Amino acid sequence: MFEIIIILMFTALLAAVLIQWRRARSGETAGGRPGDPRFSNRVPGTLTLTGVSDQPVEGDKNHQVFCTMSGTIVGPDTAPTDVYGRFVVPMSMSWPSIGDEIPVTYKPGKAESSWELAGPIGHNPGQAGPNLRKD
């Protein structure tokens, strides 16, 4: 009986590895494929920071830290909306400060729940937006 359980667990593990391998080969990411209709109808806006966490002295083993930000999103399809987000960022990133304006995108009418960063954080003008996850 024990051997059957081990064989079933090994088979499930092998299936999971093969599924992940096929996704990686097809170019699919965890967030969906580029041009995915779930992410195409978004509106640009500006997040003005009203609160930022203190920068930690050291990060984790990958040199990353949490950055907590709060602010107000203003855009063409929404009234000023207060939002809050916590991001994982590299230690080498320029730390944001109160008053910074960061480009964001959001679904029309749902700025509070669907906003994402679309530009650089901190004092790095001219750079592409960060690839960060919101916790």
- Residue by residue, DSSP assigns 62-118 as TSEEEEEEEEEEEETTEEEEEEEEEEEEETTSPPP-TT-EEEEEE-TT-HHHH-EE-
In the three-class reduction of DSSP (H, G, I as helix; E, B as strand; rest coil), residue 39 is classed as: helix
pTM summary value: 0.60
CA 54/CA 104 separation, integer angstroms: 22
pLDDT for the residue 49? 93
**Where residue 119 falls among pLDDT bands split at 50, 70, 90?**
confident
Across the beta sheet with 78-90, the strand order is: 78-90, 64-75, 43-52, 101-106, 116-117
Ramachandran region, residue 64 (left: φ > 0; alpha: ψ -120 to 50; beta: rest): beta
pLDDT for the residue 131? 46
pLDDT in tens, 27-41: 544 444 555 555 568
pLDDT in tens, 97-107: 899 998 988 88
**Where residue 128 falls among pLDDT bands split at 50, 70, 90?**
very low
